[in-house]
């Protein structure tokens, strides 16, 4: 028996998010669902998992009609999901997280019961996902890659039934935010779950194409709320519509968002005088030290990409430079002024711009309101200039930020920071979790800023941006590698 999605429709106040989608996924299969930001992938996932009620259509799993069942009831039928941002019980150990999901269907009377509940089964499951050595570690302190594996173990633990029961895993961007080696290892594990157990079906969304091609048995492409293409990975890679609307440069598309490397002669002259300097920076979270004697310089017109595994300290470094870390020692200077003791708002007013990984938009405001609420100088002229850099935002000016796709929100987060007229930019993972063609648009915008002399320090794993950087530096366990 398979997952059967039949003419699924989901509308939000007249917005047709999913508009008549039909497909099947069989046990033993690993199927990828891809498509542009805003195509309806997350909505479709939420409809299958029970977070959203369907406007029309039906979802069946193993012969059971799931319409009207809540997520907990669907879990009882062997349907579990994960989320783009891993969700675990941070106060519990890794082992207790899995034990809790195994014990939940039987009820839990006291905390002491949990330590003995299904301990052998839970340890075996942790071994399956490669976390047995972290069984007694607190989930709060896990590296992000390990937290992704724990969430996967929790999904498997929460599925009802014996080992021969059919189970459906819905994985929402399982490789998001992971570096290349971590991503490859996790996707190999996910592929093995379906291929090694003919009773498990895997359906996952993903924007990292190395987590799709070479991993998925089949690929579904969702565009504008409809299945636009379906087939083997190699067939999808050669599909002209998919290349134009989604894969972009990867599919050798010639669409106008393809980034162009600005010739050195056409770039604003780079200055050898550093705009931003960090010397001997140390950062702590409580008693735990996150950065150790970090030093760097950023010159005018220089694009520097900061790489490293999750937990290496990339976000911590950017936050410390912006004045957002609670305990910091070392020196930070900006435009020849010491700013180590300045609060964040004073650094921002001085021209230091920061785009956080979580975007921090005013989700209840429209695109235009988000832009203008932070504007300095002539808001109209500034807005026109910024929108020329991000033309995809022009038709969305009156749309509330909460109704935008992840890629659209990312463009808005960068555009809003540019409305403050910064003279130096710090960006945290601007390409994470968005489609290849939108990544091209963001990289193109950053290259235009560099051509105008903007110094930028960007924490980013995406290879396309690193290929165009002036320098790539790597953090390992809070320190720069030689």
Place of tokens 């500034």: 382
149 vs 130: CA distance, rounded Å: 8
Which one-letter DSSP state was computed for residue 312? S
Q: Write down which residue in 223, 251, 279 finishes a domain.
A: 251
* Interval 372-394 mean pLDDT: 89
**Strand 218-223, strand 200-205: pairing:** unpaired
Task: Name residues whose C-beta falls within 8 Å of residue 112's C-beta, 6 or more positions apart in sequence.
Answer: none
Percent of the chain with pLDDT over 90: 61
**Residues 24 and 78 reside in one and the same domain:** yes
In a domain, 115, yes or no: no
Give the pLDDT confidence of 466-477 residue by residue, as tens digits: 889 999 999 988
291 vs 275: CA distance, rounded Å: 22
**Residues 282 and 405 reside in one and the same domain:** yes
Q: Write down which residue in 196, 227, 251 finishes a domain.
A: 251
Query: 3-state class of 245 per DSSP?
Result: helix
In a domain, 295, yes or no: yes
Given a contact cutoff of 8 angstroms between Cβ atoms, the answer to whether 195 and 204 are in contact is: no
Given a contact cutoff of 8 angstroms between Cβ atoms, the answer to whether 328 and 340 are in contact is: yes
Output the CA torsion sign for 233, 239, 241, 244.
positive
Give the pLDDT confidence of 402-452 residue by residue, as tens digits: 888 778 889 999 999 999 999 999 999 998 877 888 888 889 999 999 999
Given a contact cutoff of 8 angstroms between Cβ atoms, the answer to whether 473 and 480 are in contact is: yes
Give the pLDDT band of residue 249 (cuts 50, 70, 90): low
Check residue 271 and give its pLDDT: 55
In a domain, 100, yes or no: no
CATH (domain of 386) = 3.40.50.300
Query: 3-state class of 355 per DSSP?
Result: strand
Q: Is the pLDDT of residue 123 over 50?
A: yes
Total domains in the chain come to 2
Given a contact cutoff of 8 angstroms between Cβ atoms, the answer to whether 175 and 4 are in contact is: no
In a domain, 98, yes or no: no
Closest CA to 61 of 6, 9, 10: 6
Cross-strand pairs, 231: 219
Check residue 482 and give its pLDDT: 66
**Residues 378 and 422 reside in one and the same domain:** yes
**Weakest-pLDDT range from 158-172, 175-189, 265-279, 350-364:** 265-279
Q: What DSSP line would sit under 49-96, residue for residue?
A: HTSS--SEEEEEETTEE-TT--HHHHHHTTEEE--SS----TTSBHHH
**Residues 15 and 156 reside in one and the same domain:** yes
In a domain, 257, yes or no: no
Q: Is the pLDDT of residue 355 over 70?
A: yes
Q: Is the pLDDT of residue 102 over 80?
A: yes
In a domain, 110, yes or no: no
**Residues 334 and 216 reside in one and the same domain:** no
Task: Name residues whose C-beta falls within 8 Å of residue 156's C-beta, 6 or more positions apart in sequence.
Answer: 80, 125, 128, 129, 167, 169, 193
The total number of residues shown for the chain amounts to 482
**Domain span holding position 427:** 264-480
Q: Write down which residue in 194, 224, 251 finishes a domain.
A: 251
Q: How far is C-alpha 32 from the chain's CA centre?
A: 16
Give the pLDDT confidence of 304-347 residue by residue, as tens digits: 999 887 778 899 999 999 999 989 999 999 999 999 999 999 99
- For residue 393 the two structure tokens come to 């935002």
**Residues 285 and 421 reside in one and the same domain:** yes
Query: 3-state class of 168 per DSSP?
Result: strand
100 vs 102: CA distance, rounded Å: 5
**Weakest-pLDDT range from 56-60, 61-65, 264-268:** 264-268
């Amino acid at each position: 028996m398979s997952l059967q999605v039949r003419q699924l429709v989901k509308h939000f106040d007249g917005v047709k998010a999913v508009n008549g989608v039909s497909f099947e996924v069989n046990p033993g299969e690993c199927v990828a669902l891809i498509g542009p930001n805003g195509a309806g992938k997350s909505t479709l996932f939420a409809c299958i998992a029970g977070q959203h009620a369907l406007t029309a259509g039906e979802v069946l799993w193993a012969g059971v009609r799931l319409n009207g069942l809540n997520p907990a009831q669907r879990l009882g039928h062997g349907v579990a999901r994960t989320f783009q941002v891993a969700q675990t019980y941070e106060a519990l150990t890794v082992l207790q997280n899995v034990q809790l999901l195994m014990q939940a269907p039987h009820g839990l009377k006291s905390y002491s019961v949990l330590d003995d509940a299904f301990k052998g089964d839970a340890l075996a499951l942790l071994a399956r996902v490669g976390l047995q050595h972290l069984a007694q570690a607190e989930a709060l302190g896990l590296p992000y890659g390990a937290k992704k594996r724990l969430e996967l173990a929790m999904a498997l633990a929460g599925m009802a039934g014996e080992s021969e029961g059919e189970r459906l895993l819905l994985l929402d961007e399982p490789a998001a935010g992971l570096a290349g080696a971590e991503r490859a290892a996790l996707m190999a594990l996910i592929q093995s779950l379906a291929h090694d157990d003919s009773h498990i079906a895997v359906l996952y969304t993903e924007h990292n194409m190395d987590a799709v091609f070479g991993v998925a048995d089949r690929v579904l492409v969702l565009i504008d709320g409809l299945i636009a293409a379906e087939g083997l990975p190699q067939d999808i890679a050669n599909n002209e519509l998919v290349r134009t609307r989604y894969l972009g440069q990867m599919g050798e598309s010639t669409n106008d968002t393809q980034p162009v490397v600005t010739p050195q002669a056409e770039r604003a002259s780079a200055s050898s005088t550093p705009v931003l300097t960090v010397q001997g920076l140390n950062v702590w979270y409580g008693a735990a030290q996150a950065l150790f004697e970090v030093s760097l310089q950023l010159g005018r017109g220089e694009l520097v990409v900061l790489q490293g595994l999750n937990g290496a300290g990339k976000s911590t470094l950017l936050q410390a430079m912006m004045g957002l870390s609670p305990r910091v020692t070392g020196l930070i200077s900006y435009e020849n002024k010491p700013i180590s003791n300045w609060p964040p708002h004073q650094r921002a007013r001085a021209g230091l711009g920061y785009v956080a990984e979580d975007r921090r938009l005013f989700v209840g405001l429209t695109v235009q309101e988000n832009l203008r609420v932070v504007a300095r100088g002539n808001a109209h002229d500034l807005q026109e200039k910024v929108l020329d850099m991000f033309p995809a935002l022009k038709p969305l000016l009156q749309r509330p930020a909460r109704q935008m796709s992840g890629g659209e929100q990312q463009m808005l987060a960068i555009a809003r920071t540019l409305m403050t007229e910064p003279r130096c930019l710090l960006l945290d993972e601007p390409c994470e979790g968005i489609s290849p063609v939108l990544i091209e648009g963001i990289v193109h915008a950053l290259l235009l800023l560099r051509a105008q002399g903007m110094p930028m320090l960007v924490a980013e794993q995406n290879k396309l941006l690193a290929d165009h950087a002036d320098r790539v530096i790597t953090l390992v366990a809070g320190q720069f590698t030689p």
